[in-house]
Amino acid sequence: MSSSAAVLFPSLLALALAPACDRTPEAKANATPPPPTAASVARAEKPAEAPKASSYQLAGSARVVAIGDIHGDLNALRHALKLAGAIDSDDRWIGGKELTVVQTGDLLDRGDQDREVLDVIEKLENDAKAAGSAFIVLNGNHELMNSSFDFRYVTHKSFSSFDEYRGQAGAFEGRMPDEQRGRAAALMPGGPYALKLAPHLTVARVGDSLFAHGGVLPAHIEYGLDRLNSEASAFLSGKLRALPPALSAEDSPVWTRAYGAPEVDDATCEILGRVLKEVGAKRLIVGHTVQKGGITSSCQERVFRIDVGLSAYYGDNPAQVLEITPKGTRVLSVSTPGSTGKTSQSAGPALHSSP
C-alpha cells in the first residue's frame, strides 16, 4: 500500500488502529457519534457523482438454490454446493442451464480458510458462466468489515494466508500488528481480494425471489437498490472514499436483523409485504442470523432464513440449502450431521410455498 493510499482512506486507517471490541459476535464496532440510520440516509440528497448503478434484477432459472453463510470453511462451501447439485467431488461445476446458485454473503471470518473460499468461489463463478449456469454471490457485513479493516473475527491462520501481500502494506507498518498487514493490503479498498468482491451484488432479485444478507426494508428501496449495489462495489474497488451509512448502519441490508428472529411480528410482516410488492418478488431470502434448528420461514413463507451455521465454527451442523422451483420451495438437507456429501431431499425440515 502506498503512502497516498493512507491519505485516501484516513477513516479506515483509524478503524484499523482502534481497540478491538468485546461485544457479542457480529456486533458492530463502537462509533462516536453513531452513524445515521438507513431511513435517514434515504431522505438525504443523492451525491453529485453517485457511482453508476448495476441492476439488482437478474433472471432466474428452473432451479434456484440458496446457500447461507460460509465463514471461512471450505468444506462447508463444498458440502452446500454438492447438496445443490452444482459441483462434483473434484470441485468441477456440473450445474446445467437449469441451475442458479445464490450465496447470501459472509464468506469471510471465523474460519481458517477464507482465502481458499474466495479463490474457489472465483473459479466456480467463471465455470458456472461457461456452463450456462449462474453462481451469484452477495456481499455480507463481514466482507465490508474486512475492507474497513475490522478484523475482530479473523483467525491467526487466516491472517497468515495473506502473508505474501505484506510487502504491499507499507503504510500500515508500525500502525497495526505485523500479522494483520498482509490481509489489510489484500482486502483494503482497491486491494487484490477486495477487487474480487467488488463485482458481487449486495441485494439481488433472482426470478421471483429477493436476496440480501440481512434483509431489505422500505428505506432501502427508497434509497435505491441499484444505488446500494453500486456504492458497495465502488467502496470495495477503491473508488469511493468511505462506506456510506446506508451500508454500514444497523438497519442496512447487510446488518439488519428485522427478519431474523424466530417469530416475526405482524408489523414486520406487513413491512415485508410492502417490500415484496414494490420489487415484484414472492419471497425474501436472508442469511446473517444463525437458525440453530435449520432453515426457517415466517410471514406465511414470505421470508426464509438460511444461515444454518454451516461453518465448523458453529459445530457439526448438517448442511442445508433452500431450493426454489416453479412448484415452490423445499429444504435440501444432508442425511446426518458429519455427512460428507450423501444427501436426502426428504430428510430434515421441508418447506413448501405456493408457486
Q: Is the peptide bond before 51 cis (omega within 30 degrees of 0)?
A: no
**Rounded distance between C-alpha atoms, residue 125 and residue 219, angstroms:** 31
- What confidence score (pLDDT) does residue 4 get? 35
- What confidence score (pLDDT) does residue 232 get? 98
Contact 171, 217 (CB under 8 A): no
Q: Please say if the pLDDT value at position 15 is more than 80.
A: no
Cell numbers 502494506 correspond to what residue? Answer: 169
**Rounded distance between C-alpha atoms, residue 355 and residue 90, angstroms:** 34
Q: Which residues of 15-50 are buried (b: 16+ CB within 10 A; e: fewer)?
A: bbeeeeeeeeebebeeeeeebbbbbebbeeeeeeee
Higher pLDDT, 74 or 5: 74
- What confidence score (pLDDT) does residue 302 get? 98
Indicate if 142 belongs to the active site. yes
- What confidence score (pLDDT) does residue 216 get? 98
Average pLDDT, integer, range 208-224 = 98
Dihedral sign computed on CA atoms, order 114, 261, 258, 304:
positive
Average pLDDT, integer, range 60-89 = 97
118, 168, 173 from 195: Cα distances, Å: 11, 15, 23
Sheet strands (E) in the chain: 57-58, 63-67, 99-103, 134-137, 203-206, 209-212, 283-286, 296-298, 303-305, 320-325, 328-334, 343-344
Name the pLDDT band for 335 (thresholds 50, 70, 90): low
- What confidence score (pLDDT) does residue 257 get? 98
Average pLDDT, integer, range 155-178 = 92
Residue range 76-93, pLDDT digits in tens: 999 999 999 999 999 999
Residue range 232-268, pLDDT digits in tens: 999 999 999 999 999 999 999 999 999 998 889 999 9
Q: Please say if the pLDDT value at position 53 is more than 80.
A: no
- What confidence score (pLDDT) does residue 26 get? 64
- What confidence score (pLDDT) does residue 141 get? 98
Average pLDDT, integer, range 111-138 = 97
Higher pLDDT, 128 or 6: 128
Residue type, 94: I
Residues 6+ apart with CB under 8 A from 326: 62, 355
Cell numbers 473434484 correspond to what residue? Answer: 90
Grid coordinates in use for 303? Answer: 421470508
Average pLDDT, integer, range 13-41 = 43
Contact 222, 42 (CB under 8 A): yes
Name the pLDDT band for 30 (thresholds 50, 70, 90): very low
Average pLDDT, integer, range 178-199 = 97
Q: Please say if the pLDDT value at position 40 is more than 90.
A: no
Percent of the chain with pLDDT over 90: 75
Stretch (H or E) spanning 124: helix 114-130
Tell which residue, 157, 166, 163, 181, has the closest CA to residue 16.
181
**Rounded distance between C-alpha atoms, residue 25 and residue 111, angstroms:** 14
- What confidence score (pLDDT) does residue 41 get? 39
Average pLDDT, integer, range 182-209 = 97
Query: Taking all residues of the chain, what is their mean pLDDT, rounded to a whole number?
Result: 85
- What confidence score (pLDDT) does residue 173 get? 81
- What confidence score (pLDDT) does residue 201 get? 98
Say how many Å lie between the first and final Cα of the chain, rounded: 51
pTM score, whole prediction: 0.84
- What confidence score (pLDDT) does residue 27 get? 67
- What confidence score (pLDDT) does residue 263 get? 86
Residue range 265-303, pLDDT digits in tens: 999 999 999 999 999 999 999 999 999 999 999 999 999
Percent of the chain with pLDDT over 70: 79
User: Catalytic: which of 79, 142, 213, 288?
Assistant: 142
